């Protein structure tokens, strides 16, 4: 979220009475050699960096952004999606209890995202320095900002004061000088409060950024005020810092930490070739803004087509994203100001956070293209050098005068930018970087333990936001389908239990049928157990039927062809035996009925029972019914009953 540009709300007046600072500096300034350790978090699946800050007694984390100048916090009144905790992260929103309202509002827009709301003033403590009545934005509307993955409550802009939109809103002008405003209550930049009373020679800060430990970033990321961090710039190397004056905008005013880029070259087939800077739209040297708030470097698509085209790599379908094989080592040199910077190969291409479903060969170039809503003309710069570039240097941002001529009329009338490359051929640092690339990308080694660094690993086990959303959507959809399937199964079971089974007679009407043999079964209304029973009942009546889908054809009262069955199988002969036994019973029962009718006894063929008839004039009760087949050798120990037909099947 770098590089802010003026985007004021329509309802904000262009001028207003400026609040006076009732409590001012009192010769306070950030102490020399104050080191603030930064936390590594994630933005768009890549590393970004946050620092702690205390406002009204609340300590919050904010993203450190050298590409913009305003300080803002997401207020507890914010109800937009960006202010909602999600993905396992809890966003801490700012509670504005004692801030002094200015009556002004502003909208701050970035390459991606925006924040808007009222401007207030309150005491702020940063880098162990208390800044009274600092102006900042309490954002009640935050759009497209990944506060949750950044684990941040807002943004701390560290660009020059003239780039502050809060300052231009409160003072109605962006055309003064960087040292025109000395009161913190009139600017969204913390630099006046930190440096106005600081001794000459201490009005600068240094920024050192680390990769993940698994990629060799085993030190601390820091921002240091008034001195150098010896972990990045040892005392004996301080004279090797390359200083250059910050480039102004077209109106001659310096607002961002902008420098000249005179060359960008990559090694192809063993030799370095320069990518024409004319592809950036620049005539002569290009310009670049250093912005720690973006997780990629940015340049026009035409320039990137030439850059990645050297490796036969083109853009993706959207024409803006450049994917690379992670095993491709890109050796890149960028000349910024007066120094050539070799970029660490692990920062020339970046691992894509599980975008390829865990494929370890998925990477994208550290340079990506400006989109239509990222018009670089808004920032008077051709290139943005973000965190991937800044991890290869120790960068210094100064409001002190020229180090060789310590004379200056104001506290920040001539800002300077210092660059110290961390991986040079002369020091052997680049050879070590190449070896690290081989270990990580080709051999699959991890150079450190990410779990030991606060904020260095995502709680999502590597999944990006888009992947998690996709997984969540899929899981939710599968869950809904599962619930629907269970509900449908329950309804079908209930329907099968509550409704009598019917058989289609072929006439178009359904009616109860005790004997399903002469009609077709509506198989859709039967459960699997009921289907099995129907098949067995059919076999008992001499029919050999196969399972069918949907409505079965009427079963003809004929024997199935012999070749439909394997006559050598045990099942075939068991079925035949059951059939023959059943037919024999039918014949026996028929003969018994005829003989009994002569003696005055009736036979109930449907139940297999014999009833002795009684003379109406006789008082002798009828004998209990006889069951002639109860002790039949083929009778199983128990029988089952068809729910619709009351038929007993005595099958083995």
Angle at the Cα of 94 (from 89 to 97), degrees rounded to 5? 150
How many angstroms separate the CA atoms of 394 and 208, rounded? 5
With 70 as the cut, is the pLDDT of residue 551 above it? no
**371's tokens:** 């989109």
How many angstroms separate the CA atoms of 250 and 253, rounded? 7
Between 499 and 592, the higher pLDDT residue: 592
Closest by CA position to 99, among listed 62, 129, 58, 48: 58
Closest by CA position to 312, among listed 264, 266, 372: 266
Q: What is the pLDDT of residue 246?
A: 96
Between 255 and 643, the higher pLDDT residue: 255
Q: What is the pLDDT of residue 645?
A: 39
Count the Cβ atoms, other than its own, within 10 Å of residue 228: 21
Band the pLDDT of 357: cuts 50, 70, 90.
Answer: very low
Q: What is the pLDDT of residue 502?
A: 45
Where does 441-569 have alpha helices with state H?
465-498, 528-540
Average the pLDDT over each of 4-8, 166-170, 220-224, 359-363 and give the range with the smallest value.
Answer: 4-8
With 50 as the cut, is the pLDDT of residue 459 above it? no
Per-position b or e across 60-80, b if 16+ CB within 10 A of its CB: bbbbbbbbbbbbbbbbebbee
Count the Cβ atoms, other than its own, within 10 Å of residue 425: 11
Percent of the chain residues past pLDDT 70, beyond the cut: 65
Q: What is the pLDDT of residue 497?
A: 61
Q: Torsion-angle region of residue 442: left (phi > 0), alpha (psi -120 to 50) or beta?
A: alpha
Count the Cβ atoms, other than its own, within 10 Å of residue 462: 12
Q: What is the pLDDT of residue 570?
A: 59
Interval 206-245: pLDDT, tens: 999 999 999 999 899 999 999 999 999 999 999 999 999 9
With 80 as the cut, is the pLDDT of residue 571 above it? no
Helix (H, G, I), strand (E, B) or coil at 329: coil
Average the pLDDT over each of 303-317, 451-465, 483-497 and give the range with the smallest value.
Answer: 451-465
Q: What is the pLDDT of residue 37?
A: 97
Between 260 and 480, the higher pLDDT residue: 260
**Rg (the chain; Cα; Å):** 42
Residues contacting 294, CB < 8 A, separation 6+: 1, 2, 3, 67, 111, 384, 386, 387
**In terms of C-beta density within 10 A (0-12 exposed, 13-18 middle, 19 or more buried), how is residue 192 classed?**
buried
With 80 as the cut, is the pLDDT of residue 650 above it? no
Percent of the chain residues past pLDDT 90, beyond the cut: 50
Closest by CA position to 578, among listed 649, 514, 521: 649
Helix, strand, coil proportions of the chain in percent (round to 5)? 25, 25, 50
Q: Span 624-628, mean pLDDT?
A: 44
- DSSP letter (8 states) at residue 388: H
Band the pLDDT of 286: cuts 50, 70, 90.
Answer: very high
With 60 as the cut, is the pLDDT of residue 639 above it? no
List beta partners, residue 297.
Answer: 367
pTM: 0.68
Between 607 and 86, the higher pLDDT residue: 86
**343's tokens:** 């970029």
Interval 124-174: pLDDT, tens: 999 999 999 999 999 999 999 999 999 999 999 999 999 999 999 998 666
Interval 326-344: pLDDT, tens: 999 999 999 999 999 999 9
With 50 as the cut, is the pLDDT of residue 629 above it? no
Please give the C-alpha separations between residue 416 and each of 244, 263, 293, 367, 399, in angstroms, as whole numbers: 6, 20, 20, 25, 6
Q: Span 363-388, mean pLDDT?
A: 83
DSSP string, 114-183: EEEEEEEEEEEEETTEEEEEEEEEEESEEES--HHHHT-SEEEE-S-GGG-HHHHHHHS-S-S-TTS---
Helices 570-599 and 528-540 meet at what angle, rounded to 10? 60
With 50 as the cut, is the pLDDT of residue 389 above it? yes
Helix (H, G, I), strand (E, B) or coil at 528: helix
Between 400 and 517, the higher pLDDT residue: 400
**414's tokens:** 């001539």
Domains and CATH numbers, the chain: 5-463 (2.40.70.10), 503-649 (no CATH)
Q: Which residue has the tokens 């998925």?
A: 362
Closest by CA position to 342, among listed 428, 466, 449: 428
**In terms of C-beta density within 10 A (0-12 exposed, 13-18 middle, 19 or more buried), how is residue 359 classed?**
exposed
Band the pLDDT of 492: cuts 50, 70, 90.
Answer: confident
Q: What is the pLDDT of residue 175?
A: 67
Band the pLDDT of 181: cuts 50, 70, 90.
Answer: confident
Q: What is the pLDDT of residue 239?
A: 94
Pairing of strands 520-521, 510-511: unpaired
Mean pLDDT value across the chain: 77
Q: What is the pLDDT of residue 582?
A: 77
């Amino acid at each position: 979220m770098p590089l802010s540009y003026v985007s004021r709300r329509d309802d904000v007046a262009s001028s207003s009475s400026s609040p006076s600072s009732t409590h001012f500096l009192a010769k306070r300034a950030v102490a020399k050699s104050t080191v603030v350790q930064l936390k590594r978090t994630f933005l768009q699946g890549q590393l970004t960096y946050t620092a702690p800050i205390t406002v009204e007694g609340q300590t919050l984390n904010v993203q450190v952004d050298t590409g913009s100048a305003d300080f803002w916090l997401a207020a507890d009144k914010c109800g937009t999606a960006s202010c909602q905790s999600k993905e396992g992260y809890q966003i801490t929103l700012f509670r504005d209890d004692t801030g002094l309202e200015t009556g002004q509002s502003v909208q701050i827009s970035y390459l991606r995202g925006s924040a808007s709301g009222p401007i207030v003033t309150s005491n702020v403590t940063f880098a162990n320095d208390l800044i009274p009545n600092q102006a900042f934005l309490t954002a009640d509307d935050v759009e497209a900002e990944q506060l949750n993955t950044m684990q941040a409550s807002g943004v701390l802009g560290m660009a020059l004061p003239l780039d502050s939109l809060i300052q231009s809103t409160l003072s109605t002008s962006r055309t003064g000088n960087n040292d025109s405003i000395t009161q913190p209550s009139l600017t969204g930049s913390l630099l006046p409060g930190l440096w106005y009373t600081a001794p000459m020679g201490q009005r600068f800060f240094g920024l050192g950024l680390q990769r993940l430990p698994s990629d060799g970033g085993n030190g601390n990321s820091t921002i240091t005020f008034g001195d150098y961090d010896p972990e990045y710039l040892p005392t004996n190397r301080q004279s090797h810092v390359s200083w250059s004056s910050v480039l102004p905008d077209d109106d001659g005013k310096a607002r961002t930490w902008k420098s000249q880029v005179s060359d960008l070259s990559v090694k192809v087939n063993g030799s370095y070739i320069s990518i024409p800077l004319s592809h950036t739209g620049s005539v002569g040297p290009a310009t670049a803004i250093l912005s720690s708030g973006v997780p990629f470097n940015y340049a026009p698509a035409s320039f990137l087509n030439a850059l990645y085209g050297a490796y036969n790599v083109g853009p993706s379908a959207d024409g803006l994203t450049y994917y690379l094989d992670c095993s491709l080592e890109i050796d890149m040199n960028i000349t910024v100001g007066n120094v050539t910077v070799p970029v660490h190969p692990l920062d020339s291409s970046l691992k894509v956070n599980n975008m390829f479903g865990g494929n370890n060969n998925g990477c994208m170039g550290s340079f990506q293209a400006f989109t239509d809503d990222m018009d670089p003309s808004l920032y008077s710069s051709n290139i943005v050098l973000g965190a991937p570039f800044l991890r290869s240097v120790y960068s210094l941002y100064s409001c002190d005068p020229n180090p060789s001529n310590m004379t200056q009329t104001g506290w920040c009338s001539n800002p300077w930018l210092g660059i110290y490359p961390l991986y040079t051929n002369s020091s052997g640092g680049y050879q070590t970087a190449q070896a690290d690339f081989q270990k990580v990308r080709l051999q699959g080694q991890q150079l450190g333990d990410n779990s030991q660094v606060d904020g260095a690993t995502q709680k999502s086990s590597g999944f990006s936001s888009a992947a998690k959303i996709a997984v969540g959507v899929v899981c939710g959809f599968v869950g809904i389908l599962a619930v629907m399937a269970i509900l449908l199964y329950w309804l079908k079971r209930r329907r099968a239990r509550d409704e009598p089974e019917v058989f289609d007679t072929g006439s178009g009407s359904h009616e109860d049928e005790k004997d399903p043999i002469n009609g077709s079964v509506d198989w859709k209304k039967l459960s699997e157990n009921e289907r099995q029973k129907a098949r067995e009942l059919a076999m008992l009546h001499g029919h050999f039927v196969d399972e069918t889908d949907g409505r079965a054809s009427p079963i003809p009262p004929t024997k199935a062809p012999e070749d439909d069955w394997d006559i050598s199988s045990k099942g075939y002969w068991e079925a035949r035996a059951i059939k023959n036994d059943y037919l024999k019973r039918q014949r026996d029962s028929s003969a018994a009925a005829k003989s009994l009718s002569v003696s005055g006894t009736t036979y109930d063929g449907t139940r297999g029972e014999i009833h002795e008839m009684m003379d109406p004039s006789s008082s002798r009760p009828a004998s209990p019914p006889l069951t002639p087949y109860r002790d039949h050798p083929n009778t199983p120990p128990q029988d089952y009953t068809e729910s619709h037909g009351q038929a007993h099947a005595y099958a083995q």
